[in-house]
Amino acid sequence: MLGEQRRGKILEIVNDHGSVSVNDLHRRLKVSRETIRRDIARLSAENRLRKTHGGALALDRTEARFEDRMAVNIEGKRLIGAQAALLVPDGAALTIDSGTTTLCFAECLTERRRLTVYTNDIHVASRLAGRNDNVVILTGGEFVASEGAMIGRDTTAMLGNYYPDFAFVGVSALTAHPWLMDYSREAAEMRATMLAQARTRILLCDHTKFGKSAPVRVANLDKADLLITDLPPSLKMATGLKTLRAEIIVAGK
| Report field, pTM of the whole predicted structure over 0.85 | no
Can you give the pLDDT at residue 216? 86
Q: For the chain, which residues make up each domain, given as ranges? A: 3-61, 67-250
Among residues 41, 6, 3, which one has the least CA distance to residue 25? 6
CATH architecture of the region 67-250 = 3-Layer(aba) Sandwich (3.40)
Q: Confirm if 173 and 215 have CB atoms less than 8 A apart.
A: no
Element (H, E) at 52: strand 50-52
4-33 in b/e form (b: 16+ CB < 10 A) is: eebbeebbebbeeeebbebeebbeebeeee
pLDDT tens readout for residues 7-57? 989 988 887 777 788 999 999 999 999 999 999 999 988 878 878 778 887
Q: Please check the confidence at residue 243 and state whether its pLDDT lies above 80.
A: yes
pLDDT tens readout for residues 69-98? 888 899 999 999 999 999 999 999 999 999
Domain 3-61 has CATH 1.10.10.10: yes
pLDDT tens readout for residues 95-118? 999 999 999 999 999 999 999 999
